[in-house]
Amino acid sequence: MSTGNMNLTLKVWRQKNNKTTGALVDYKLADISPDMSFLEMFDVLNEQLINKGEEPVVFDHDCREGICGMCSMFINGRPHGPKDLVTTCQLHMRSFKDGDTIVVEPWRAAAFPVVKDLTVDRSAFDRVIAAGGFISVNTGNAQDANNLPIPKMQADAAFEAAACIGCGACVATCKNASAMLFVSAKISQLALLPQGQPERYRRVQSMVAQMDAEGFGNCTNTGACEAECPKGISLENIARMNRDFASAKFVSEETV
């Protein structure tokens, strides 16, 4: 079914479930087209495995257009592979060479336990958002949208922070498995907007507390998260979160 001429060796992490240990397993692939996406290359592998009567590699993926944040492969030592600003599903085989060996591992973090093969459990992110990543406005509470002008620069900055797709590449690549880029992006988005002000200091305290409870590591400002983020989320957000956290703890009278 393949149409290309690339030959590859894959070393893929296989792990039956979270109760067993896993290992890297070698697979040979032939006739891969450079126009295939990385996940389509995995489709080819899986089709081969199924035809041979083996179990296919389980990996998370859904939209395959770089926005849902579900795909999550650690490829040759980098989350989402060698290209900057793309997710695994948007990585194409033309970024590799004929004869390459490609090592594919799941995200590794205590807070992201492996579920099976390359699939991990990222529900920790949801719990961090549930702890405060919102503005408390019930449906029907809203005033007319244009009653609240927001400077374009601020709105744009909030949008840039909101572009986070929650894929977890920041955690995966951080040497400390820290989630601060993810958490700070949501805190920043809401801190930059006037709508987010009433809960600003409460939010940062609750979300950081939940982040800590999930067992993520601490930020040591290596900047790897920013470099690997497929959406280019900036480290500025972490500084903003830290600033807000300081204000919350030492200036605001509200303790959470």
Partner 1 sequence: MSGFGNAFSSSIGKKFIMGATGIFLVLFLIVHCGINALIFLDDQGLTFNIGAHFMATNWIIRAGEVILMLGLLVHIFQALRLTLQNNKARPVKYAVNDGKANSKWYSRSMGLLGTLLLIFLVVHLKDFWVVSRFTGIPSVDANGHEDLYAVMRDKFQDPVRVAVYLLAMVSLCYHLLHGFASAFQTMGWNHSKYNGIIKSVGVWYSIIISIVFAAMPLAFHFGLIK
Partner 2 sequence: MSDLNSNIPEGELTNKWTKFKSSVALVNPSNKRSIEVIIVGSGLAGASAAATLAEMGYKVKCFCFQDSPRRAHSIAAQGGINAAKNYQNDGDSTYRLFYDTIKGGDYRAREANVHRLAEVSANIIDQCVAQGVPLAREYGGLLDNRSFGGTQVQRTFYAAGQTGQQLLLGAYSALERQIGMGKVEMYTRHEMLEVVKIDGKARGIIARNLITGELERHFGHAVVLGTGGYGNVFYLSTNAMGSNVTAAWKAHKQGAYFANPCYTQIHPTCIPVSGDHQSKLTLMSESLRNDGRIWVPKKKDDNRKASEIPEDERDYYLERRYPAFGNLVPRDVASRAAKERCDAGYGVGASKLAVYLDFKANTERYGKIEASKAGIHNPDKETCMRLGTAVIKEKYGNLFDMYAQITGENPYETPMRIYPAVHYTMGGLWVDYNLMTSVPGLYCTGEANFSDHGANRLGASALMQGLADGYFVLPYTIGAYLSKEISVKAIPTDHPAFVEAEAKAKGILDTLINIKGTKSVDHFHKRLGHIMWEKCGMARNAEGLNEAITEIRALRAEFWKDVRVPGTSDELNTELEKAGRVADFIELGELMCIDALNRNESCGGHFREEYQTEEGEALRDDVDYAYVAAWEFKEGVNFELHKEELKFENIKVAQRSYK
Contact 111, 255 (CB under 8 A): no
Q: Which of the stretches 5-13, 151-159, 176-184, 242-250 binds partner 2 when contact is defined by CB under 8 A?
A: 151-159
Cα–Cα distance measured from residue 208 to residue 203, given in angstroms and rounded to the nearest whole number: 8
Name which position in 99, 146, 250, 251 contacts partner 2 (CB under 8 A): 146
Name which position in 25, 30, 110, 150 contacts partner 2 (CB under 8 A): 150
Judged by beta carbon distances under 5 to 8 A according to partner kind, the member of partner 1, partner 2, none in contact with residue 195 is partner 2
Binding of partner 1 by 235 (CB under 8 A): yes
Name every residue whose Cβ is closer than 8 Å to that of residue 24 and which is 6 or more positions away in sequence: 11, 12, 13, 14, 103, 105
The nearest distance, CB 250 to partner 2, in angstroms, is: 25
Q: Footprint of partner 2 on residues 62-81 (CB under 8 A)?
A: 62-70
Name every residue whose Cβ is closer than 8 Å to that of residue 199 and which is 6 or more positions away in sequence: 132, 135, 136, 190
Cα–Cα distance measured from residue 234 to residue 182, given in angstroms and rounded to the nearest whole number: 10
Question: Which helix (H) or strand (E) covers residue 7, if one does?
Answer: strand 6-14
Judged by beta carbon distances under 5 to 8 A according to partner kind, the member of partner 1, partner 2, none in contact with residue 118 is none
- Max Cα–Cα distance, the chain, nearest Å: 65
Cα–Cα distance measured from residue 191 to residue 241, given in angstroms and rounded to the nearest whole number: 9
Q: Which of the stretches 29-37, 58-66, 192-200, 230-238 binds partner 1 when contact is defined by CB under 8 A?
A: 230-238
- Amino acid letter for position 110: A
65-104 mask for partner 1 (x: CB under 8 A)? Answer: ---------x-xxx---x--------------------x-
Tell me 18's DSSP state: T
Binding of partner 2 by 256 (CB under 8 A): no
Phi, psi dihedral angles at 178 (to 5 degrees)? -90, 145
Q: Footprint of partner 2 on residues 170-199 (CB under 8 A)?
A: 189-190, 193, 195-196
Give me the residues that bind partner 1 (CB under 8 A), please. Answer: 11, 13, 24, 74, 76-78, 82, 103, 105, 108-111, 173, 175-178, 180, 205, 208-209, 211-212, 215-224, 227-228, 235-236, 238-246, 249-250, 255-256
